[in-house]
Structure 1
């Protein structure tokens, strides 16, 4: 597991959803989203598949269906 996806574990996901109003997809997983977006802009989508997958894993851990 990469250091990016390590920030998104199940305990963090449950803490986030229990303490706040329902999380919107645009605000979920800001750590992985920022790194993913920067990579896509600089290198193109094809070069960032690992970061894209890490962001998807984080989103799924928060209950988003992607």
Structure 2
């Protein structure tokens, strides 16, 4: 990943995720970035490497970037 790449922008909140005032509600962390989380978990759990953290660093970074796009810091 280069420094010239920007964080992904989260999609607009569906109508069900809006507050009574019409402002978008913050989604639950379990409900966003599910594809990135699954790929990260699969890499970490099924890695044959002696250091899965190093092998899966790209997927972990993608997951963190996705979560940051929704306002979560991990």
Q: Retained in 2: the 8 A contact 1:14–1:62? A: no
Partner secondary structure for residue 15 of structure 1: coil
Aligned residues: 57
Unaligned runs of 5+ in 2: 2-6, 18-24
- Structure number with greater CO (CA < 8 Å, separation at least 6) is 1
Moved over 4 A (4+): none
Higher helix share: 1
TM-score normalised per structure 2: 0.63
TM-score computed with the length of structure 1 as normaliser: 0.69
Larger radius of gyration: 2
RMSD: 2.1
